[in-house]
Each structure stands twice: as structure tokens, then as C-alpha cells.
């Protein structure tokens, strides 16, 4: 897949101006490196926002590969559709406007890479679904697992504690799961990588 760099740059700049939490450059670099080794055929993304990460990932799809990405917010979903169309990627990136918590329950396809980048309080839920939907040798990647460092802090404001606890559960869960080889890296806002072995 060939990506129009100028158009991608405009999408990124607009997202940053609109305070949409798109992938940080160094996290994207890490994930792109993994994708370039893996050459996935099917990618599942939880949390599309305006399609920035999905567009970046599409470059590394195997031929005839595809991305399924889920976004709960209707405005963002529409902007993502528009962005994906502008880059002529509509045939390889499918965007669904739904709550991924619900949508994943009914999904029964397998994916080579699953990227979790949505509501932090639901990470454990997304992880359980991802474990069911990942192919052997597939890779589950989660962004923002350090939640701006809060996950590493001893004390956090009350309003953040549930998300912090869920993220800690996520990290503990993947580290203990013998079916996965996992590493949690201090890159960007924290990236967890789990390979189904
Ligand atoms: N992956 C994007 C950024 C995603 S930001 C990128 O890097 O370009 C997180 C997105 O997840 C937000 O747009 C938010 O609306 C969405 N989200 C939050 N909870 C969700 C849920 N339960 N189901 C689907 N999307 C959700
Ligand atoms: Mg993120």
C-alpha cells in the first residue's frame, strides 16, 4: 500500500490541533518496525479516532491484507471514513462505528495483529477478547499502558484510579500468561507487546 505522505501529514496535524490522542511518533515507529517484520494479513484495531494509526499501519499489510478498526464516537468515525477515502484506502481499511466492548463479543474472525488503543478502563476486557481472536504467532499490542506515568506512580488522583488499576491488571495478566511472550516498553506512553506462542 502506498501512502500519500503530504495528506497523511495534514491528517496528523489536524488531529494534534483537535487534541485527538493519536499515536506518538516513537510508539508508531516501534509498531511499524514490528509490522514490517510480521507483514500481517489481518489487523484489528480498537480505537480508530480519525484513522491516523490505521492509515499508517496499512503500509505494512501483506498483499490483499485488511484492517478492521472500531470507533465508538460518531464524529470521529465519520472523519476517519473521510480520511481513509482521501488516501484511497477504503478497500483495505474497514471502519465500524460501535462500542468495541459489544462489537468484539460477536466477532469470530482471527487476526495476525490486534492493536488496543481505546478506553483504558476496558483494557482487560479488550485483552480477553483479543486473546480469543489472535492467531498463533499473532501479536497483541496495547498503547498507553503507563497512562502518562500514573501506572508507575504510588499515588494517583481518585478519578484516575480505576483506569490505573485496569492497566496494572492488563500488565500483570499478560506477564503471567504462559501462552504469550510479552514485554512492556517505556516508549511513548507505554507500549505492551504480547506474542501468542
Ligand atoms: N488509534 C488512534 C487513536 C485512538 S484514541 C490513532 O493512534 O490514530 C482512542 C479512541 O478510542 C477515541 O477516539 C475514542 O472515542 C475511542 N474509544 C473509546 N472507547 C471505545 C470503545 N469502547 N469502543 C470503540 N472505541 C472507543
Ligand atoms: Mg494511544
Helix extents (H) in 44-182: 52-58, 74-86, 100-105, 123-133, 158-176
Instruction: Among 17, 20, 49, name the best residue to mutate to test ligand 1's pocket (greatest count of ligand atoms within 8 A of Cβ).
Output: 49
Q: What is the CB-side half-sphere exposure of residue 179 using CA atoms within 13 A?
A: 12
- Number of the ligand closest to the Cα of 123: 1
Q: Give the ligand with the smallest distance to the CA of 75.
A: 1
Q: How far is the CA of 74 from the centre of ligand 2 (A)?
A: 18
Q: What pLDDT sits at residue 1?
A: 72
How close is the Cα of 71 to the center of ligand 1, in Å?
Answer: 6
Query: For the chain, how many residues are written?
Result: 197
Q: What pLDDT, in 10s, does the model give residues 74-94?
A: 999 999 999 999 999 999 999
Percent of the chain at pLDDT exceeding 90: 96
Buried b (16+ CB within 10 A) or exposed e, 31-57: beebbeebebbbbbbbbbbbbbbbbbb
Q: Which three cell numbers stand for residue 68?
A: 478492521
Our separate counts of H helices and E strands in the chain read 7, 7
Give 66's strand partners.
42
Q: What is the pLDDT of residues 134-187, one digit of tens each?
A: 999 999 999 999 999 999 988 999 999 999 999 999 999 999 999 999 999 999
Higher pLDDT, 52 or 1: 52
Amino acid at each position: 500500500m502506498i501512502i500519500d505522505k503530504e495528506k497523511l501529514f495534514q491528517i496528523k496535524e489536524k488531529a494534534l490541533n483537535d487534541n485527538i490522542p493519536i499515536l506518538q511518533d516513537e510508539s508508531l515507529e516501534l509498531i511499524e518496525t514490528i509490522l514490517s517484520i510480521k507483514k500481517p494479513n489481518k489487523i484489528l484495531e480498537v480505537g480508530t479516532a480519525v484513522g491516523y494509526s490505521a492509515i499508517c499501519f496499512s503500509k505494512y499489510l501483506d498483499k490483499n491484507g485488511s484492517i478492521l478498526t472500531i470507533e465508538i464516537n460518531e464524529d470521529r468515525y465519520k472523519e476517519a471514513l473521510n480520511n481513509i477515502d482521501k488516501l484511497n484506502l477504503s478497500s483495505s481499511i474497514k471502519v465500524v462505528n460501535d462500542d468495541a466492548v459489544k462489537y468484539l463479543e460477536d466477532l469470530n474472525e482471527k487476526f495476525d495483529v490486534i492493536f488496543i488503543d481505546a478506553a483504558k478502563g476496558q483494557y482487560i476486557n479488550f485483552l480477553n477478547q483479543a486473546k480469543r481472536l489472535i492467531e498463533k504467532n499473532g501479536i497483541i499490542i496495547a498503547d498507553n499502558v503507563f497512562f502518562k506515568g500514573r501506572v508507575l506512580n504510588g499515588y494517583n488522583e481518585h478519578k484516575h484510579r480505576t483506569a490505573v488499576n485496569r492497566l496494572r491488571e492488563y500488565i500483570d495478566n499478560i506477564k503471567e500468561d504462559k501462552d504469550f511472550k510479552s514485554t512492556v516498553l517505556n516508549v511513548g506512553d507505554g507500549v505492551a507487546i504480547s506474542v501468542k506462542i
